[in-house]
Structure 1
Amino acid sequence: MVNYRMYRQRRRRTPAEEVANTDDLLTEILKRLPTKTLLQYKLVSKQWLSLISSPHFSISHTRFLQKEGFLKPSALFLDVIYRQPPTKFMFLPFNSATKQLPLFDFMNAPYLKIMQSCTGLLLCISGYGNPSYFICNPVIKKFKAISFPRHLTLDYQLVGVNLAFDPLKSPYYKIISVWQEALLEKDEENNCLRYMSSNFSIDIYSSKTDSWSVSKIKFTSNRDIKFDHAVLLNGSIYWDSTDRESLYFDVEKECLMPMPMPKLRRRYSGFRYFGESGGYLHLVVGRRPVYYLIFRIFEMLVDRSGWFPKYRIDLEVEMLKLNIIPHYDGYDLLWFAFHSDEDGGDSMVALIKCGLKLVYNFKDEELKVLVGCPKAEKYQHDYDRFRGCPYFETLSCV
């Protein structure tokens, strides 16, 4: 009589079984697959679910995509507040495979706004007055609420929260919160007046230690710096400023450095877009009045010593070439983005109140009008609309 237990023990494993039962080999294979495929493969078995969900695999997968040049944004969020149900963001797809983006219903927030995007992790804000901040990854539907070491008081006011995450440098992220000192002063009638001083303090959170370093850096500045609008590039956080000079923060060295801003003519004050594309920092400014649709694009030098004018584009002229007749009352700019495509060419995208979505490619010097434009009334009418947050599909943990 055949002993089936002994038979199974003696039977040699197939190469596929050997790989499936060796986590190291399986990891090397799986980390080469796209993120969407890995999400489906979680259902194969408990072993695969455990492996793909582990923090070690998530960072290995993200680093592999980065090193091989596969980690590119598949879409741009239009970071406007959307209310439930459902919390659904408008987006601009970069490829035909991106049909839809994940819902943010897992956060159970009444409404949400994306403030910053860092290689798959998003910094989000929800609420008015005393808002809540979150770090989330909508791909894996995980989030973490940020608890600050101190609350808004009469002494300090929170003026900026920034996220720094670069998987190639570290599997952990940092949060930089900027606080401005608020002072009380009595006038001649003994009324207490509250005003903001030029004194600032920076707290730094590390996900590695899950703790804050309070008042890590103190500094004084009289510049008009937008600490709530940060761009992470090559290990440093950059802040936009309408002044002659701004600041940037070296995340690894934890130090502040000055940064000059482009010299602009007064007429170029219609709006500003400050962001990173193709590994470079860009500032796009629009001419007043806004319906002129004339833009200047500046790029920061690699040594951070200054900026140079890279492009100038008049969309009205380009539209006339396509026989699109301008109607100035409907040409209020609602949303704008500047990015580099896979071929290394620079492109800009503009969403206009009259319902046009325009894409201009500087490499081909070609203007395209996209169909299926989202309804314009869903956009907030403020200058925060001129920001596009890239959407990366990663397994990065929060």
Structure 2
Amino acid sequence: MKLRIKITKSAKQTASAERVSSLDDLLLEILLRLPIRSLIRFKCVSKRWLSLITNPRFSILRNPNPNPAVGLFLRCQVFGTKPDYDYIHLGTHSHTNPPFKKLRFTYEPSGIYILQSCNGLLLCRSFLASQSKRKYYVYNPTTKHFSTLPKTCLVTKTSNAVHEMSPAFNPRQSALYKVVCVSKIIRGMSLAFDPASSPHYKVVCIRDSESARDHYEIEVFPSETGHWRAVGDPFLSNVCFRNSVYWNGTIHWISTWEFTILSFNVYQETRGTMPAPAPPPREGGRVGYFGESCGHLHLVAVYEPPGDRFDVHEMKSDCSEWFVKYRVDAKQVFAALPEMRSDWDDFYAFSIFCLVRGKTGQDNDSFLVLQTPGKAIRFNLVDGSFDKICDLEDSQEHGSLRNLEHAFQYVESLCCV
């Protein structure tokens, strides 16, 4: 009588698994098809798996085209406390869990505040700290990794005076250095990151000029060098440097009432201006939104009163001119939401949190995230359909809206910082 022990199949499976794990190309093909949450866990399997998943080439192979946002971080408007953030899931099918409620990746007495979202990375700073004690961070909310930026300082040859230097400065070098007088007043910090072009990021600092009154100066921090340096001459501008948009190798700042756009190319390190869209066809036009999604730059011009009609402009890839991508008539949407109508004038109470493009070749999935009193609405730009995403619980007063400067897109990313 023969006994049959079911070991052969298991042994074959083990041998097959070992064979797969020993072939980098085959293992890579399997890992590329896994969801991002699984990949984060699998980085702990072995040093080899960690090396494959964290390689910059892996991210490009997995996502050769820019990813659309899957969520939105909204800062709760509770003043005088450490910043809290609500998370809005933007998808219609699979749900992504909130990556965080408070930013606690490092200790900050007053909390951590988001300045900008750029292709999966967040630029953050100390919340209530004074300028001299303020710290800046680049944080990946998907992987929970972060880096701390060194303090800015301009250094030139000619003297042996030594002051607060960046880590790249070597005082043992034979050359003589001096520290240039730098204003402590920072007007804006901007993040430039495109994983399809480079695994490295750059941070651009705009500060008051000490050498020219009412002028500004630019400093650039490339992550691959690890130190700040001055770029260009002092300049004048009327844009707001608190909010910036990175697109096509260039950081853009806009004056929302004058349709003025200032640009800084982070690779050529040159300043310029971007052509504004054609003047609105009637008076009362303003910029309702300026942002990037999936490699496209958009500007939404809202016409008032009453504000229920707006054009979505898109910039051509060669940066030559804007064209109207969508013409939106939102009367039907606003009629279904009577709480948007103001009791004392003819305006609608709404704002645009963000515009999210569908993946390459899927324009039908492009939509706006509209903020109305107490609600976030998803509005399809192609067919005009809409539905409520969620309630905004801290909008207690009728007609109250959250500050658009406190809304940041969440793009899942495995990129290292």
Q: 2:137 aligns with which of 134, 139, 146?
A: 134
Task: Report the Cα distance in structure 2 between the residues aligned to 1:317 and 1:208, rounded to whole angstroms.
Answer: 51
Equivalent residue number for residue 374 of structure 1: 392
Residue correspondence of structure 1 range 181-220 to structure 2 within 5 A: 181=209, 197-198=214-215, 200-212=216-228, 214-220=229-235
Q: Any stretches of 5+ residues in structure 2 without a counterpart?
A: 1-10, 154-163, 165-180
Matched, 1:72 2:68: yes
Task: Report the Cα distance in structure 2 between the residues aligned to 1:318 and 1:370, rounded to whole angstroms.
Answer: 11
TM-score by length of 1: 0.77
Tell me by how many angstroms 1:275 deviates: 0.2
1:51-74 deviation digits (Å, cap 9, x = unpaired): 45448734233111222x484332
Matched, 1:339 2:356: yes
Task: Report the Cα distance in structure 2 between the residues aligned to 1:323 and 1:149, rounded to whole angstroms.
Answer: 48
Tell me by how many angstroms 1:154 deviates: 7.9
The answer on whether the counterparts of 1:126 and 1:132 sit within 8 Å (CA) in structure 2 is yes
Equivalent residue number for residue 174 of structure 1: 202
TM-score by length of 2: 0.74
Task: Report the Cα distance in structure 1 between the residues aligned to 2:214 and 2:40, rounded to whole angstroms.
Answer: 49
Equivalent residue number for residue 35 of structure 1: 36
Equivalent residue number for residue 297 of structure 1: 312
The answer on whether the counterparts of 1:113 and 1:124 sit within 8 Å (CA) in structure 2 is yes
Tell me by how many angstroms 1:25 deviates: 4.7
Tell me by how many angstroms 1:376 deviates: 4.0
Equivalent residue number for residue 308 of structure 1: 323
1:288-315 deviation digits (Å, cap 9, x = unpaired): 46x6444332222333233234444343
**Equivalent position SS for 1:377:** coil
Matched, 1:268 2:285: yes
**Equivalent position SS for 1:102:** coil
Q: Percent identity?
A: 28
Equivalent residue number for residue 227 of structure 1: 241
**Equivalent position SS for 1:61:** helix
Residue correspondence of structure 1 range 54-203 to structure 2 within 5 A: 54=51, 57-67=54-64, 69=65, 71-78=67-74, 87-103=84-100, 104-109=103-108, 110-128=110-128, 129-130=130-131, 131-150=134-153, 155=183, 157-181=185-209, 197-198=214-215, 200-203=216-219
Task: Report the Cα distance in structure 2 between the residues aligned to 1:58 and 1:89, rounded to whole angstroms.
Answer: 32
Equivalent residue number for residue 392 of structure 1: 411
Change (3 A) 1:352 1:305: same
Task: Report the Cα distance in structure 2 between the residues aligned to 1:376 and 1:335, rounded to whole angstroms.
Answer: 18
Task: Report the Cα distance in structure 2 between the residues aligned to 1:247 and 1:70, rounded to whole angstroms.
Answer: 24
Equivalent residue number for residue 6 of structure 2: none
Considering fraction of residues, name the structure with more strand. 1
Deviating more after overlay: 124-133 vs 228-237: 124-133
Task: Report the Cα distance in structure 1 between the residues aligned to 2:334 and 2:39, rounded to whole angstroms.
Answer: 43
Task: Report the Cα distance in structure 2 between the residues aligned to 1:132 and 1:294, rounded to whole angstroms.
Answer: 42
Tell me by how many angstroms 1:106 deviates: 2.6
Change (3 A) 1:397 1:38: same
Q: Any stretches of 5+ residues in structure 1 without a counterpart?
A: 1-10, 185-195
Residue identity matched to 2:18: E
Equivalent residue number for residue 251 of structure 1: 266
1:160-210 deviation digits (Å, cap 9, x = unpaired): 2111111221111111111222589xxxxxxxxxxx513x22111111121
Equivalent residue number for residue 6 of structure 1: none
Task: Report the Cα distance in structure 1 between the residues aligned to 2:83 and 2:37, rounded to whole angstroms.
Answer: 22
Tell me by how many angstroms 1:277 deviates: 2.6
1:322-378 deviation digits (Å, cap 9, x = unpaired): 48575424953365222212421332121111x233222121122x23153121438
Deviating more after overlay: 19-28 vs 388-397: 19-28
Change (3 A) 1:240 1:60: same
Change (3 A) 1:183 1:248: closer
Change (3 A) 1:387 1:180: same
**Equivalent position SS for 1:229:** coil
Change (3 A) 1:361 1:229: same
Residue correspondence of structure 1 range 14-29 to structure 2 within 5 A: 14-22=15-23, 25-29=26-30
Equivalent residue number for residue 4 of structure 2: none
**Equivalent position SS for 2:244:** strand
Task: Report the Cα distance in structure 1 between the residues aligned to 2:334 and 2:274, rounded to whole angstroms.
Answer: 36
Deviating more after overlay: 119-128 vs 79-88: 79-88
